[in-house]
Structure 1
Amino acid sequence: MSEPSAGDPGALAARLAALPDEQLLAVLVVATAGRDTLAPLYEAATRLLSETGQSGTAPGVIPGTDMPPGYGPSADLGSSSQVDSGIGAVVGDPAATGGTVGGYTAGGVPTFGSLRDKVERRIGTAFGARQLDRQTPAGRGTEEQWEAREQAARERLAQIRTSLHEGEGS
């Protein structure tokens, strides 16, 4: 027997009906996030999911997958002194974060904490790449060439200064 096509609503309904309640609620949360007309369904599914002891899933995450480090009920993102302290609340609990799930608000806007984490990751990656580049033979060769040019420039500047001072004494 062949697999039903993805466009078959009956097959999709059958697969959804076979899911346990918690997984079905998680699918509904993900499927309705950011849809204005389905906002009441999103809120109801989120509330029911939190009542079952489950936290909301990040949009786009398949229910049942583990949350990445730094997200979820135990995350403590903190907040800047310049920003309202409510932003740093626990991610994954929409009630505690004013509707944020996985670093994004219900409308799909990233939170300050998630942006800060993203920038810090990129800075760390850039510094790490720079250190690795310096450890390669090509990177060391480039650095040695730079130092040789700097030394030559300092010597030439010293020569120019000496020649200028010699002309003043005459």
Structure 2
Amino acid sequence: MSEVEDLAGLLARLPDAALAAAVELATEGRAGLAALHAVAQSLAASLGDVSDVIDVTPDTLPEESYSQSETAGVSEQVGAGAVVSAVPIPPVGIPAVPGIGGYTSSGVPTFESVRDKVEQRYGTSQGMGELDQQTPVGRSVEEQWDARAKAARERLDQIRKSMHGNDSE
């Protein structure tokens, strides 16, 4: 493990108030991390003093400290199974999915999910237009539109003819 991973592991074990105080101290005086320092400072103030935090540790020992005879009960089930990690690990050979449900781990929609949504909405609107044209009401609306456009062209031609007739006088 690298030093960064070791440090991250230690920081992950800290209570929230202690972690906020540690981040506040670590970012103090760093101009590039001023925003992070301000957030850590406000979090540390809202979470309370680090000395007020009660360290809660389990009364039971970790599983490794028990002998097999202590963990196995009458049914031989307690402690006999394989240890399951909290985070699922994908099998070897299967590429890791960048985001589940179209979002990255930070909550940002992926480009593919946005493109799929746009294509789906476009296809839906195209289909709705085609279905509308196949209904009697849709056809009548289209016929009305065509009739109005024809009437508008005829009226425009009449106006042009009357304007040309006034030019010759």
If the length of structure 1 is used for normalisation, what is the TM-score?
Answer: 0.46
If the length of structure 2 is used for normalisation, what is the TM-score?
Answer: 0.46
Q: Which has the higher contact order (CA 8 A, sep 6+)?
A: 1
Structure whose CA Rg is larger: 2
